[in-house]
Amino acid sequence: MASSHEIRCINKSDRTNIHERIVNIGGINQDGTRWKISQRDAISAIEANKWQFFVGQGLNKVDVIIAESAAGYKYLKTKNDTTTSNNLLSLPECP
């Protein structure tokens, strides 16, 4: 069974452009240490059922899923929810 991890930050290829792709995702472990992995590694881990990711907590928790562009490029995005903003792309920059 996949372990679940909250994404709290991202790194994008161009932080000022909301349409640029995510390079890394990150969060905080239960012991308080930070983690950060590449989007590619996150996608591989989801596909292998090793990890699953989400954004937010409680009633605002939204799953992160793998999507595919028209060109066949895999990327991470939040599952459709009741907000119009993209929860994942609006996260702060990872250190």
Mean pLDDT per 10-residue section of the chain, whose length is 95 residues: 93 72 94 97 97 89 91 88 69 93
pLDDT at 94: 95
CB 75 within 8 A of CB 22: yes
pLDDT at 58: 80
Structure tokens at 45: 């881990």
